[in-house]
Amino acid sequence: MAFTDIATRTYDHGFRLDPIVRSLLDTDFYKLLMLQMIRHLYPDVQATFTLINRTKTVRLADTIDEGELRAQLDHARTVRFAKKELIWLAGNSFAGQERMFAPDFLAWLADFRLPDYDLRRVGGQFELQFAGPWTHTTMWEIPALTIVNELRSRAAMRDMGRFTLDILYARAKARLWDKVERLRALPDLILSDFGTRRRHGFLWQRWCVEAVKEGLGDRFIGTSNVLLAMDNDLEAIGTNAHELPMVIAALANDDAELRAAPYRVLDEWRRHYGGNLLIALPDAFGTAAFLADAPDWVADWTGFRPDSAPPIAAGDEIIRWWQAHGRDPAGKLLIFSDGMDVGSIEATYRHFDGRVRTSFGWGTNLTNDFRGCAPDGTTGLEPISLVAKVTSANGRPAVKLSDNPAKATGDPAEIARYLRVFGEAGRQASAVTV
Amino acid sequence: MAFTDIATRTYDHGFRLDPIVRSLLDTDFYKLLMLQMIRHLYPDVQATFTLINRTKTVRLADTIDEGELRAQLDHARTVRFAKKELIWLAGNSFAGQERMFAPDFLAWLADFRLPDYDLRRVGGQFELQFAGPWTHTTMWEIPALTIVNELRSRAAMRDMGRFTLDILYARAKARLWDKVERLRALPDLILSDFGTRRRHGFLWQRWCVEAVKEGLGDRFIGTSNVLLAMDNDLEAIGTNAHELPMVIAALANDDAELRAAPYRVLDEWRRHYGGNLLIALPDAFGTAAFLADAPDWVADWTGFRPDSAPPIAAGDEIIRWWQAHGRDPAGKLLIFSDGMDVGSIEATYRHFDGRVRTSFGWGTNLTNDFRGCAPDGTTGLEPISLVAKVTSANGRPAVKLSDNPAKATGDPAEIARYLRVFGEAGRQASAVTV
């Protein structure tokens, strides 16, 4: 005898859309922290975010139906913060601190909705832009990425039979667990999930997070995904991102203001937040330039998140800088989050073990590693390097140099100007795979 | 929003027993073929079947709760052939033949139920016996094995969390699919599922059968499990088993009748069945003795199922025997079913490719390979060598010698007598793992 819930089955007959974004908390925690500061300090700045597919060989518009993409983007615009979500943001402590979010900010969030978008098909790619107040466009970054990535996964799996899908997920689960067992060999590992933006899909990320929690216990300290943090009583992890120095730099009136922009951002950040949130991103315009010009108080911060240089070299450089500033690296923290996987986590962990505290933000290779898992040889499930970057602020072009020229974004003339201001020291090209 | 079928959930609250045997078709096809012949020729023979755990190191009675075992055995005794099952047995063709089962036999099956059992705990093992008419006790063989094996699996998994189970099955699925992909490299493979008796569990066997069907297509010719054959429109595979010569040998009145018993059985079989069912089991009392004394008409049979000698050696021996009898092996069939796995299937397939038709009955290593799959290191899921053998007929001890002394069963004095009658030629001990 088989019992079927007929009402559910009948509802499913009329299935129109399986929404990818079902909660505005399904975003990275840093977006909320940055948003609170942006709203206080830059409420009138207009910022445009643009989807950038660095994996040019993958023609997204040939894979993803434009109508489906619009339907998902439109649906995301109908989603509001639920009451229980705002209550949780108000009542939960973040990074050890109560009342991280001010009541006026939470009241403002209650009315928040994602602003409009501009979508065009150009050749085999989508041109997807979000223009408007920085306080609103910033919140599109993660939903835009999760929508496009999950639609791409769905397209790749559309023709798979039920059995093929079963093997696909069995293999992916077995693979992730093998990774977890390797990571268990690192006794003092500190790891968190940074895999929201390039995940295979929401349900898969949820499974991965639960798997890593089950397998690593206390060594898994949380997730950057606010919704998963809430639902699983995990710590929400994150601080700030490149968009802060990129916008402030874009707003600079001259080269001197441009050169000062990265430190101005940190100064504003430390006034807004303190404690465990004092993690600096050094690479927006090149780590070497950042460290060379940094005021001494930056060395008092908890640590750095090198995000585009090779991890061991970047960490060693920062350790030397701390030592040159008379600080003991043993009390400092390095967070590695640039395309990490088990091999690079192991190597980086072992290199720095006992010399500096390390923490790993495991992203795409945690939540989207289906390479070789499809039993029918289907391609299209390998992750691509998709980002949604701020491209202009108050009409001025925004630029990111990073330590890896392959990750630079922005207008070529502006990139040239930034390179003159910040210098080219320490920049090293390497392939960007995820 | 989550919808739950409240009625189902509430029914589950009162969960008492998850029955292992839910259909009398959940047995090996050869049981039904043999049963029809037993009922016609030996309706009055009393036969006792006994559970034998050859893996002495596994103390079944320390693992499986006696009350649970009784509850499952009792439940199996309540199960009858369903009307649709009898209709299917009547209407389906088996081995290419219509009306394999006579109407009077099917009418008799309609009233069939499993007879009583005798269960005792002795040390760390169960003594489980089924005494009564051969026409009834024979049908306990497979349910007794599936019940004990599945209860053992359940005991091993009792303390596993939901997540641990998820990884366990993901790994087992990934492993089976890797095996399927290896087998795909054998273009003329003929494979069937023989894994009912030592399966991990019914649902797992069903998944394995569906997986192999999906992965191997026409190279997967069917399953010995009658229920799975019916449900999946697969061919039911099987012919006869050792119990036939064992009982006829036990009933022999002197050594001459004993020596003739294996051929008498075949003669009775060919009168009952013909065509594709003419597959001889040569090893009940040693293949060498069987071949040496076999009448010439045995060489007209379709083929042999060597079941205890090393497959390549056994096949070569049979090929030489066919040649000595002037038959062309190229038109003959060898069915290998003794503890086969991908490696031995590959080797055996390649050895005989082009010289004789081969077919593989894949059993325990198909439906119960969880070795190393438990993420928590739990043991107890590795298969054991459990059989349910006929041990006496009309009060006389039944004996099996086989080609492997480790697989011999019976009273030691009787074994000695059989060895005198049949000789010891060609017997070779090897470890019995499954």
- Render pLDDT for B371-381 as a digit per residue (tens, 0 to 9): 999 998 888 99
Helix (H, G, I), strand (E, B) or coil at A259: helix
Tell me the pTM. Answer: 0.91
**How would you classify residue B275: left for phi > 0, otherwise alpha for psi between -120 and 50, otherwise beta?**
left
Share of chain A above pLDDT 70, in %: 99
Among B166, B181, B210, the residue with its CB nearest the CB of A163 is: B210
Flag whether pLDDT at A1 surpasses 60.
no
SS3 content of chain A, % helix, strand, coil (to 5): 50, 15, 35
Within 8 A of B214 by CB-CB distance, chain A residues are: 161, 163-164
The DSSP result for A166-217, as a single string, is: HHHHHHHHHHHHHHHHHHTT-TT--EEE--STT-S-HHHHHHHHHHHHHHHG
Instruction: Summarize pLDDT for B106-164 with one digit per residue, the tens.
Output: 999 999 999 999 999 999 999 999 999 999 999 999 999 999 999 999 999 999 988 89
pLDDT in tens, A12-50: 777 778 999 999 999 999 999 999 999 999 999 999 999
Closest chain B residue to A4, measured at CA: B5
Q: What is the pLDDT of residue A2?
A: 66
- Residue A397's DSSP bridge partners are A392
A375 close contact with B: CB closer than 8 A: yes
Count CB neighbours of B433 within 10 A. 14
Per-residue pLDDT, B378: 85
- Which residues of chain B are within 8 Å of residue A8 when distances are taken between CB atoms? 3, 5
Average pLDDT over residues A324-344: 96
Q: How confident is the model at residue B278 (pLDDT cuts 50, 70, 90)?
A: very high
Distance of CA A194 to the CA centre of its chain: 6
Q: Touching check for A351 and chain B: CB below 8 Å?
A: no
How far, CA to CA in Å, does B357 sit from each of A259, B189, B297?
80, 10, 20
Question: ipTM for the complex?
Answer: 0.85
Question: ∠B109-B114-B117 over CA atoms, to 5°?
Answer: 160
Are B375 and A169 a contacting pair at CB < 8 A?
A: no
Range A69-90 average pLDDT: 97
Average pLDDT over residues A397-416: 92
Q: What is the pLDDT of residues A158-215, one digit of tens each?
A: 999 988 999 999 999 999 999 999 999 999 999 999 999 999 999 999 999 999 999 9
Which of A274-283, B48-57, B87-96, B183-192 is predicted least confidently?
A: A274-283
The arithmetic mean of pLDDT across residues A130-140, rounded, is: 98
Interval B351-357 mean pLDDT:
97
CB contact under 8 A, B211 and A163: yes
Burial class of residue A234 (count of CB atoms within 10 Å of its CB; 0-12, 13-18, 19+): buried
Return the pLDDT at B1. Answer: 57
The pLDDT of residue B117 is 98
Higher pLDDT, A13 or B250: B250
Task: Tell me what pLDDT residue B2 has.
Answer: 66
Q: Which residues of B touch A169 (CB under 8 A)?
A: 170
In the prediction, which pLDDT does B12 show? 77
Per-residue exposure over A160-187, b if at least 16 CB sit within 10 Å of its own CB, e if not:
beebbebbbbbbbbbbbbebbeebeebe
Interface contacts A/B by beta carbons within 8 Å: 55
Q: Do B170 and A173 touch (CB under 8 A)?
A: yes
Contact state of A167 with B375 under an 8 Å Cβ cutoff: no
Mean pLDDT of chain B: 95
pLDDT at A380: 92
